Structure 1
Amino acid sequence: MKQYYGVYSSNFCNWEQNDKIIAEYIWIDGTGINIRSKSRTLSGTVESISELPDWNFDGSSTQQASTEDSEVTIKPVAIFHDPFRGGDNILVMCATYVWADEERTKLRPANTNFRDFSLPIFEAAEGDHPWFGIEQEYYLFETNNAFTKKLLGWPEGGYPAKEGPYYCSVGASACHGRAIMDAHYRACLAAGVNISGTNAEVMLGQWEFQIGPCEGVTIGDHLWMARYLLGRIGEDFGISISYDPKPIKGDWAGAGCHTNFSTESMRQEGGIKEIYEAIEKLSEKQKEHMELYGEDNEKRLTGKNETCSIEKFTCGVGDRGASIRIPSNVEIEKKGYIEDRRPASNIDPYLVSSILVSTCVAGSEHEEALFTHFRKWKEERKELES
């Protein structure tokens, strides 16, 4: 067996598997943010997606199908090492599909499969080589019982000191959750997830990790796998992960998924011209973008706590209160990238990355299908909740 990639040392990690491997199939459920997975045994090592079989699951238990027609098909789209089981075992990111006809001759994307609708957009912009880096903020919650939970490090029934000492903090009085962050960081590296960094965030119990640079659709594959790994790490620590953009009301920091974006022409000499042209295009699509930029984002984008207003599009050099921030070094070097600070922490990265490409580069030819699928899913969610 290959050397164990794991974060923790357990005797079972070195067990022989008699030339079999375990493939953990992972997908996004009908909520659009929760992740599900199940395991299967395969004969021998797997080198490519084409070697992996399709599978299915009970979609009536994941808000993705009715009991009467419950099977949802999962198709592998990306392979990662399994840092928990080690060896040749793998994690498999999957896209979800349901039957398009009663005869069961054709599949169509399931309700939260936005990856399929992003692919034509990325293909149209393939020659522009769109790069992404996403800064995923999240919260760590201790679960006390079935009814109450509190942020890691917060006092029982009260509040910690005001924000200020917690950002990039060091020391037990200000930093809570480093062991979880470090285990997640190492698990991502072992899995082959393109993680570029991590840090404690503005609010106590809040952290961030950064995924990228990734080109095209791979940003979604890698961010979703990083979320899966964080959820698994949380299990071992008895900690729940929250991507709620504003879990604590009042003058406390919200959580975003700041998205850094560039094209090849932006990264070349004189690319600042293309950067400002892209920003102008974004300013004309504020409403459309905000529709895809996360649930309950209006609670976060108030114009306070280093956020812009959800109602108004702005941009600025080095301005963390703007919709679009142009990093200072980009303005100086006249090339580089932009940071879209509007996306909430609970976004679907396939949606955000593809709509940025569509608006700035590819044009709106493939947007209608994406928005139609998204809006249908949102209506279904409303009906379930009512």
Structure 2
Amino acid sequence: MEIPVVYGTTGSISALLDGTITRDIINNLTDIGGKCVAEYVWIGGTGQDLRSKARTLDKKPEKVEDLPTWNYDGSSTGQAPGDDSEVYLIPRAIYKDPFRGGDNILVMCDAYEPPKVKDDGSVADPVAIPTNTRAACAAAMKKVEAEEPWFGIEQEYTLLDATTKWPLGWPKNGYPGPQGPYYCSAGAGCAIGRELVEAHYRACLFAGINISGINAEVMASQWEYQVGPCTGIEMGDQLWMSRYILYRIGELFNVEVTLDPKPIPGDWNGAGGHTNYSTKATRTAPGGYDVIVEHCKKLEKTHALHIAEYGEGNERRLTGKHETSSMHDYSFGVANRGCSIRIGRMVPVEKCGYYEDRRPASNLDPYTVTRLLVESTLIN
């Protein structure tokens, strides 16, 4: 078979990949001499962008502590000045690489200032850079470890045509039919982008992400996947890595993914990041339901703080319409999707369980959201 050669930049690499020829050739190169490729992934300067770069290791590490620290140019990510640009990466979690396969891995990292040497010659503890929200979350989760906090996040997102920046499959300069037929739908005119969504689902399962389901959402070209239950800091690590995998899958289809909480103004649903939360006490009958009610009352006192940290642009989504509460009011209730906090119908019956914080936007930082939940209900 002749290998096709592409000249110039007028064609799309993704179009070539869609032909499967180059993709199959690369994917069949599985013998890499016993080496391991580690893709280090971290959060960039906007707090929303994900960055990554790869390095070759002599062998696959047995645990995350076996991985070397690394560094990157923080001046190119908006996280350091040009005259002191080195930012350090500390590996935190390992996942199987669904793109390279084999023994290759994806590594979730967080970012720190370069090590400082103290007057006595010893090296000071690493200092997290300002955009590193993982460090504070890890500290909070350590304090409440005995409470066994579990989380599950429902990540909604919208698929966009990479050229027009308009929702995938929507009429050019127009709109599809009204909402109604798209939620959990089947069919070419309703479940737009399913092939990409399914590829992401399988890639996350391969990677070891605890992805628990997918479904088409209320707005056409909007989808949701769920990650969890995860304990403590694992929630943030897994959701961020699942997003990285989603963006990489989007590359293969030449489709953009947006986490904008209200990508289309008007009578269209926004996109949320509903966060399900429980502790050992809430999961224990018969008193668990009473503990949940206590949590909900505590969360009212910190409502403004949570709203301020629950996602940029969330005010466009939390209007009291389209299955949301108003950002200006706090409420909780059983089976009420118009409340800030929804308690499941079976929780009062079984006298234990979990509850759902419906306020976070789709572009939530899971480290911040989970930290605030444990601080408001367990620490403060």
Instruction: State the TM-score, normalizing by the size of structure 2.
Output: 0.90
Which of 36, 51, 69 is matched with 1:36 structurally?
Answer: 51
Residue 22 (1) aligns with residue 37 (2): yes
Deviations 1:109-145 (A, max 9, x none): 122211101122111111110000000000100022x
Does 1:329 find its partner at 2:337? no
- When normalised by structure 1's length, the TM-score is 0.89
Residues in 2 aligned to 1:111 and 1:33: alpha-carbon distance in whole angstroms: 14
The 5 A counterparts of 1:375-386 are none
Deviation at 1:101, TM superposition (A): 6.1
Q: Is 2:72 aligned against 1:53? A: no
Q: Mapping of 1:1-386 within 5 angstroms?
A: 10-14=24-28, 15-99=30-114, 106=124, 107-144=126-163, 148-270=164-286, 271-363=288-380
SS in 1 for 2:252: helix
Q: Note the C-alpha offset of 1:100.
A: 7.6
User: What's the CA shift string for 1:136-191, capped at 9, x where partnerless?
Assistant: 000100022xxx42101110001111111110010112110100110000000000
Q: What letter is aligned with 2:59?
A: G
CA–CA separation in structure 1 for the residues paired with 2:218 and 2:257 = 17
Contact 1:29/1:63, CA 8 A, preserved across alignment: yes
Amino acid at match of 2:143: A
Q: Deviation per CA, 1:349-370, whole angstroms, max 9, x where unpaired?
A: 000001101111122xxxxxxx
Deviation of 1:12 (Å) = 3.0
The CA deviation at 1:285 is: 0.7
Query: Which deviates more from structure 2 when the two are superposed, residues 117-126 or residues 127-136?
Result: 117-126
Q: CA separation in 2, counterparts of 1:124 and 1:138?
A: 32
* Deviation by residue 1:305-349 (Cα, 9 ceiling, x = unmatched): 000000000111111110000010112211100000000011110
SS at match of 1:111: coil
Letter in 2 for 1:140: L
Instruction: Give me the whole-angstrom Cα distance separating, in 2, the residues matched to 1:252 and 1:224.
Output: 26
Per-residue CA deviation, residues 198-243 of structure 1 (Å, 9 max, x unaligned), is: 1000100100000000000000000001000000000000000100
For 1:226 and 1:118, locate their aligned partners in 2 and report how far apart those are by CA, in whole Å: 18
Give the letter aligned to residue 206 of structure 1: Q
Number of residue pairs aligned between Structure 1 and Structure 2: 353
Distance in structure 2 (CA, Å) of the matches to 1:242 and 1:325: 26
* Paired letter, 1:190: F
Query: SS of the residue aligned with 1:264?
Result: coil
Q: Which shifted more, 210-219 or 247-256?
A: 247-256
When Rg is computed on C-alpha atoms for both structures, the one with the higher figure is 2
Amino acid corresponding to residue 244 of structure 2 in structure 1: Y
Aligned partner letter, 2:129 = A
